[in-house]
């Protein structure tokens, strides 16, 4: 996974400018860079976007340790890894490309208040995935990166009780998001745009939740999604 992450970043930074021959995952990332260039994504935002993507890929590598050993991680470890592997943080950076949010200065996008909102978005989306895919993951070994399983292990309790705990964890993050949204710092001339940006972060979370719940194949017991792009055909 770390080798894959390194290869992907070289494609995204143009250290490897050649278009991959196969229509595989590497080609998709090459196309992503072309899209970023085409929409004139500011370099400072693109660098943030790449950093977030790299953290996702390293998170995938870290979670493999637990998958391969069929081990459930401690809660603090789970939260660190899930924040990355939910894949939401790059989307938080991508939201900054919508409307006129690309004009928001780094002093706002990197403010601790906004960064915490990004983290909460990532954790909520990860928890959505865990709860919705739980029926499938209960029937498969090595699917150990699931909050319900983590809480069951932490508290030595039943799956049902752990499930209710997971819902409570999610709802506490949602409450925190709403409090932070309601009490933004003073950002002067950028206040209204920042408020709209944070609102769109919440819309993003809701949209991903809708995608999770509307999928009829990925999250059902026994469901598995084949790779969409296997060849030039």
> What are the φ and ψ backbone dihedral angles of 212, each rounded to 5 degrees?
-60, -45
In the three-class reduction of DSSP (H, G, I as helix; E, B as strand; rest coil), residue 26 is classed as helix
Average pLDDT over residues 203-207: 93
Q: How far apart are CA 230 and CA 146, in angstroms?
A: 29
CA angle 97, 22, 38 (to 5 degrees): 25
Mean pLDDT of the chain: 89
pLDDT in tens, 179-201: 999 999 999 999 999 999 999 99
- Residue 206, H or E segment: helix 191-214
pTM across the whole model = 0.89
pLDDT for 113 equals: 98
Residue 232 has pLDDT above 50, yes or no: no
Say whether pLDDT at 223 is over 60: no
Task: Specify the pLDDT at position 195.
Answer: 97
pLDDT digits (tens, 9 = 90+) for 66-114: 999 999 999 999 999 999 999 999 989 888 888 889 999 999 999 999 9
Instruction: Give the whole-angstrom CA distance, residue 68 versus residue 189.
Output: 51
């Amino acid at each position: 996974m770390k080798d894959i992450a390194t290869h992907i970043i070289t494609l995204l930074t143009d250290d490897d400018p050649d278009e991959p021959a196969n229509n595989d995952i590497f080609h998709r990332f090459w196309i992503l860079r072309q899209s970023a260039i085409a929409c004139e994504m500011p370099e400072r935002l693109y660098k943030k976007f790449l950093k977030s993507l790299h953290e996702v890929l390293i998170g995938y590598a870290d979670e493999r340790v637990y998958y391969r050993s069929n081990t459930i991680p401690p809660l603090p470890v789970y939260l660190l890894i899930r924040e990355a592997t939910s894949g939401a943080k790059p989307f938080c950076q991508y939201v900054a490309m919508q409307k006129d949010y690309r004009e928001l200065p780094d002093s706002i996008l990197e403010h601790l208040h906004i960064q915490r909102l990004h983290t909460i978005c990532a954790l909520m989306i990860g928890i959505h995935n865990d709860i919705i895919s739980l029926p499938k993951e209960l029937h498969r070994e090595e699917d150990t990166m699931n909050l319900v399983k983590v809480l069951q292990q932490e508290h030595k309790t039943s799956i049902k009780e752990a499930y209710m705990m997971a819902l409570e964890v999610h709802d506490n993050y949602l409450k925190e998001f709403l409090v932070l949204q309601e009490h933004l710092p003073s950002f002067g001339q950028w206040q209204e745009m920042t408020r709209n940006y944070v609102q769109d972060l919440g819309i993003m979370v809701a949209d991903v939740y809708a995608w999770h719940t509307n999928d009829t194949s990925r999250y059902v017991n026994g469901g598995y999604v084949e790779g969409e792009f296997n060849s030039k055909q």
